[in-house]
Amino acid sequence: MSERRTPPPAPAADEHQRVEAAAAEAGVAAPKSTVGRFMASSAGRNSGLVIALLVLCVVGLLTAGDRFANVNNILTILRLAAVIGVVSIGMTFVIIGGGIDLSVGAIVALASVWATTLATQQLAEDYHWIFMVLTALVVGTACGLINGSLIAYGRMAPFIMTLAMLAGARGLAEIISERRTQIIGVRDFVNFINGSLLGIPVLVWIFAVVAAIGWVLLNRTTFGRRTIAVGGNINAARLAGIAVKRHTVLLYTLLGLLCGVAAVMLMARTTTGSSTHGMLYELDAIAAVVIGGTLLTGGRGTIVGTIFGVLIFTTLTNVFTLNNLDTSTQNVAKGVIIVAAVLLQQRVAARSDSS
Amino acid sequence: MTTALLEMTGIVKEFPGVRALDGVDLEVRAGEVHCLLGQNGAGKSTLIKVLSGAHQPDEGVIVWQGEQVRLANPLAAMKLGIATIYQELDLVDGLSVAENIFLGHELASAGFSRQADAQKAAAELLARLGHPEISPRREVGRLSTAGKQIVSMARALSHDVKLIIMDEPSAVLDQEEVARLFTVIKDLTAGGVAVVYISHRLEEIRQVGDRVTVLKDGRTVATGLSARETPTSDLIRRMTGRDIEYVFPARSKVPQEAPVVLDVADLAAPGAFSGVSLSVRAGEIVGLAGLVGAGRSEVLETIYGARKASAGSVTVDGRRLRPGSVRAAVAAGVGLSPEERKSQGLLLDEAVYRNVSLATMTRFARGGFMNHANERRAAQKHTKALDVRPADISRAARTLSGGNQQKVVLARWLLRECRVLLLDEPTRGVDVGARSELYALIGRLADEGVAVVLVSSEVPEVLGLAHRVLVLREGRVVHTGPAEEIDEHQVLDLVMEGSAA
């Protein structure tokens, strides 16, 4: 039967090269210079971040000496990084999936308030402090679920939906707490979450575990693959039979859950629940994600980059604080770093796929 | 005696590791339509970019109206009177027609735009192009692709243009629109404007062209050929080194007892089409012919569930599909290769193998964890069978040529072992050599028992590949029958008039 078909004409011997040439002609070939190629590789992209972090450490050493380079200070940096880090990991998924979430700080606040009401604390005293944790997680998850559902099924723009959640969740937190800071009286809770395990703060452990799970989720599972597909080309993902809407809901719900985790960590660190917790977390998280090399347009990003983004910010704050510089100066420096990082990223991107 | 408007000699352009242009000569006279022919990768795009000032040549001389010039940037080219109309139109959707036409050189006094003047001037330009029906106030995003192209041309004319480069303008147009485009081109050239016209379609070059330059492997292999009189075989041979245009695989007979895999009954989608019924047996290829806008793509999308049907049913292997659900269709074994490969089919920045496994990834996962080795192996098996080049499956899909990208999308559905394959314009933007390969591939898939529905704007393609042909006109089926019993001319008559002449 097969001889009926005319076989496809044999391609010219150099066809392969011509295709390559066509690709190069369109300007999409791999970067040719060694530096360009290295910078475009994932190690290369992160190497810029490693260098930035090292520079910060050197500055810290030179200006603050031993006050910077001692175990306690390093642990302080890590403890500070842990809370915003957990939120940033979730934000990385949402942004790779083509979305954005402005409500993370407000969700943290609402979860912290809800988990520290008198009723919840009474429950914790009567049975186990885990109920406070569960409350925070449920509240965070629910907020994320609402965000995701309305974005996916209500076709709200993520920016608008989460802006509304920002206002609504923080408002609700104020109503519940009557704008008062709620002191946590459950000692076991604070002692455990704010304590240490094997010499390392539990907060840091939590961040490490979340980051590790995030890395595996993004790089080794269908969930991660779908996230990249949905953010990279939503039409192609839909036409390939991926449940795009359901996945969008999952992404925001995951971030909501992690906001709940962050709320628990913040509650333990400050021994309070408050409607002012998590102020501007959305900006810090988005900045960390973007500095880490994740494209705001979706479809590309790394967990490792985000971790570096968080560490760079936290170390910067620490170095500034050790030098008695105020937060205003810190904010200026943060702004400069964000711009510099994005400019650098664009140059790298231009090298790897310019036209 | 016409003198040369533009003379390019010995143009060389090197990119790291590749000589995209390796000594190209091109001579264009005022008032002519000069056609540029060549396969994908022959250097046409690079040549255009050099001519429009986007790329600087490494060697070679450009003489414009008798003077040697350097086109340092696109603005310099535009100032000389060279305008380019790109395949992907560069218009701002949110601005009006008039605003787009004068974008960058707005008519303004002291910073205030003179809107009335701009609209008047725009209306004149549109009238000159034979499209007075396009309102200068209209938002460009609301125009059809053909309308946008006219606006692009009007923008070119709003500069004092002497040479217009058109990069495959007909690729996005239907036949009627192409005919109107040709009228416009003839009017322009009658006014002394030269046109450099690039197209894959030889019949168009015959209709509209004056002279032809053929590029192959970055070199000019023939120039100054008569567009009307040079035999097709001659042109093809110069482009490819082969003597054939399209090679269609011989159709194998579909056995009478072959089961009906896809059955579509009385399907309708509001505003697109109605009353479409078709059934496809295992191993059969059914072609849908018709103009752009006749509802061909919409039929495929509705079968696939990407568009909601208002009436009718789609049945695969005897099971009725849940309407409006792509997932139901995919689960039932239906695959779609969409018309817009890049925007609807591929993750351009992702590796080839990940594009192939996109619809199948759960198969390579246990408890959500991907087994990358299995995934790569399975994807590789199919890319190898389809001869996707380059063979490296870790490359980003973006770096592949159009034909190979198409194969990647096909490989995706082969990996899924789909029963029904819906192909929407599978050879758009694919060069001649790679087309024959795709044809052979589609024939082979049918032989393996896949039910194929093929949509193509190129009638010979539908007639050459399909067993049965449905002709759509304005959302209705006007003809159904075996492909052998109808010829191109009859199809075109049906498509235009609704009846076979």
**A122-156: per-residue pLDDT in tens?**
888 888 888 999 999 999 999 999 999 999 999 99
pLDDT one-digit tens code per residue, B16-60: 656 778 889 999 998 899 998 876 667 888 888 898 888 888 889
What is the structure's pLDDT at A311? 93
pLDDT one-digit tens code per residue, A233-273: 888 888 888 889 999 999 999 999 999 999 999 999 999 98
Of B124, B135, B181, B185, which Cα lies nearest the Cα of B158? B124
Nearest CA in chain A to B410: A240
Sole residue written with tokens 């061909």? B296
Rounded Cα distance between A282 and A143, Å, is 15
What is the structure's pLDDT at B241? 59
What is the structure's pLDDT at B72? 85
A313 pLDDT tier (thresholds 50, 70, 90): confident
Rounded Cα distance between A21 and B17, Å, is 9
With respect to residue B342, please indicate whether it lies within any of the assigned structural domains: no
Q: Return the DSSP state at A26.
A: T
> Which residues is B83 bridged to in the sheet?
B164
Judging contacts by C-beta atoms under 8 Å, the chain B residues touching residue A223 are: 368
pLDDT reading at B162 higher than 70: yes
Rounded Cα distance between A209 and A303, Å, is 13
Q: Is A34 on the interface with B (CB under 8 A)?
A: no
* A296 Cα to chain B: minimum distance (Å): 15
Q: Taking the complete model, does pTM exceed 0.90, yes or no?
A: no
What is the structure's pLDDT at A173? 93
Three-class SS state of B54: coil
Find out whether B298 and B422 touch, Cβ atoms under 8 Å.
no
A23 pLDDT tier (thresholds 50, 70, 90): very low
How much is the average pLDDT of B352-367?
88
pLDDT one-digit tens code per residue, A72-129: 888 989 999 999 999 999 999 999 999 999 999 999 999 999 999 888 888 888 888 8
Sole residue written with tokens 């200068």? B136
Judging contacts by C-beta atoms under 8 Å, the chain A residues touching residue B329 are: 241
How much is the average pLDDT of B90-115?
78
* Residue-number span of the structural domain to which B316 is assigned: 246-333+418-501
Tokens of A8: 């496809």
ipTM: 0.70
Q: Return the DSSP state at A195.
A: S
Q: Is A354 on the interface with B (CB under 8 A)?
A: no
Neighbouring C-beta atoms of residue A200, cutoff 10 Å? 13
Residues B153 and B282 placed together within one structural domain of the fold = no
Q: What is the mean pLDDT of chain A?
A: 83
Find out whether B74 and B53 touch, Cβ atoms under 8 Å.
yes
Q: B186, exposed or middle or buried, with CB in 10 Å at 0-12, 13-18, 19+?
A: middle
Residues B363 and B314 placed together within one structural domain of the fold = no
Of A314, B55, A202, B87, which Cα lies nearest the Cα of A306? A314
B246 pLDDT tier (thresholds 50, 70, 90): low
How much is the average pLDDT of B234-256?
69
Residues B273 and B214 placed together within one structural domain of the fold = no
How much is the average pLDDT of B65-78?
85
Pick from B17, B45, B365: which is nearest to A26 by CB?
Answer: B45
With respect to residue A212, please indicate whether it lies within any of the assigned structural domains: yes
pLDDT one-digit tens code per residue, B260-306: 999 999 999 887 888 899 999 998 999 998 876 678 888 999 999 98
* B358 Cα to chain A: minimum distance (Å): 6
Torsion (CA) B262, B266, B267, B268 in degrees, nearest 10: 170
With respect to residue A296, please indicate whether it lies within any of the assigned structural domains: yes
pLDDT reading at A305 higher than 70: yes
What is the structure's pLDDT at A108? 96
Residues B79 and B177 placed together within one structural domain of the fold = yes
Tell me whether residues B346 and A22 touch, CB distance under 8 A. no
pLDDT one-digit tens code per residue, B480-499: 888 888 877 777 777 766 54
What is the structure's pLDDT at A107? 96
Of B92, B168, B169, B167, which Cα lies nearest the Cα of B129? B169
Which tops the pLDDT comparison, B309 or A36?
A: B309
Sole residue written with tokens 């704050």? A317
Domain containing residue A137: CATH number: 1.10.3470
Residues B68 and B78 placed together within one structural domain of the fold = yes
Tokens of B274: 């109605």
With respect to residue B387, please indicate whether it lies within any of the assigned structural domains: yes
Q: A321, exposed or middle or buried, with CB in 10 Å at 0-12, 13-18, 19+?
A: middle
Counting residues of chain A whose pLDDT is more than 90, the rounded percentage is 42
pLDDT reading at B1 higher than 70: no
Tell me whether residues A228 and B347 touch, CB distance under 8 A. yes
**What does B319-363 look like in DSSP terms, one character per residue?**
EEPPTT-HHHHHHTTEEEE-SSIIIII--TTSBHHHHHTTTTGGG
Contacts of A35 (CB under 8 A, 6+ apart): none
- Domain end, chosen from B208, B240, B272, is at B240
pLDDT reading at A159 higher than 90: yes
Residues B64 and B80 placed together within one structural domain of the fold = yes
How much is the average pLDDT of B148-169?
85
- A residues 235-254 closer than 8 Å to B (CB): 235-243
With respect to residue B338, please indicate whether it lies within any of the assigned structural domains: no
Rounded Cα distance between B242 and B232, Å, is 11
Q: How many domains does chain A have?
A: 1
What is the structure's pLDDT at A20? 39
With respect to residue B48, please indicate whether it lies within any of the assigned structural domains: yes
Lowest mean pLDDT among A193-197, B227-231, B357-361, B494-498: B494-498
With respect to residue A252, please indicate whether it lies within any of the assigned structural domains: yes
Q: How many domains does chain B have?
A: 3
Residues B375 and B439 placed together within one structural domain of the fold = no
How much is the average pLDDT of B169-177?
75
Rounded Cα distance between B476 and B479, Å, is 9
Give the number of residues written for chain B: 501
Residues B327 and B351 placed together within one structural domain of the fold = no
What is the structure's pLDDT at A34? 55
Rounded Cα distance between B464 and B309, Å, is 30
With respect to residue A160, please indicate whether it lies within any of the assigned structural domains: yes
- Domain end, chosen from B373, B394, B416, is at B416
Pick from B41, B249, B354: which is nearest to A25 by CB?
Answer: B41
Q: What angle do CA B342, B346, B350 make, to 5 degrees?
A: 120
How many CB pairs (< 8 A) connect A and B?
155
With respect to residue A96, please indicate whether it lies within any of the assigned structural domains: yes
Of A170, A231, A166, A201, which Cα lies nearest the Cα of A72? A201
With respect to residue B341, please indicate whether it lies within any of the assigned structural domains: no
Residues B407 and B439 placed together within one structural domain of the fold = no
How much is the average pLDDT of A195-210?
91
pLDDT reading at B73 higher than 90: no
Rounded Cα distance between B472 and B482, Å, is 15
Domain containing residue B37: CATH number: 3.40.50.300
**H or E segment at B82?**
strand B82-85
Residues B378 and B466 placed together within one structural domain of the fold = no
Lowest mean pLDDT among A211-215, A274-278, A349-353: A349-353
- Domain end, chosen from B199, B216, B240, is at B240
With respect to residue A24, please indicate whether it lies within any of the assigned structural domains: no
Find out whether A280 and A106 touch, Cβ atoms under 8 Å.
no
Contacts of A195 (CB under 8 A, 6+ apart): A201, A202
A355 pLDDT tier (thresholds 50, 70, 90): very low
What is the structure's pLDDT at B223? 84
With respect to residue A325, please indicate whether it lies within any of the assigned structural domains: yes
What is the structure's pLDDT at A348? 63
Pick from B18, B250, B343: which is nearest to A5 by CB?
Answer: B250
What is the structure's pLDDT at A215? 94
Find out whether A79 and A204 touch, Cβ atoms under 8 Å.
yes
Rounded Cα distance between B172 and B474, Å, is 18
Number of continuous H segments (helices) and E segments (strands) in chain B: 16, 24
With respect to residue A32, please indicate whether it lies within any of the assigned structural domains: no
Q: What is the mean pLDDT of chain B?
A: 84
pLDDT reading at B500 higher than 80: no
What is the structure's pLDDT at A27? 40
Lowest mean pLDDT among A35-49, B397-411, B438-452: A35-49
> Which residues is B196 bridged to in the sheet?
B34, B165
Alpha helices, DSSP H, located in chain A: 15-25, 34-40, 42-64, 71-96, 104-114, 118-126, 130-152, 158-177, 187-193, 202-220, 222-232, 234-239, 244-270, 281-291, 303-322, 327-353
* Residue-number span of the structural domain to which A87 is assigned: 42-349
With respect to residue B28, please indicate whether it lies within any of the assigned structural domains: yes
Residues B401 and B460 placed together within one structural domain of the fold = no
Residues B188 and B73 placed together within one structural domain of the fold = yes
Cis peptide upstream of residue B390 (ω within 30 degrees of 0)? yes
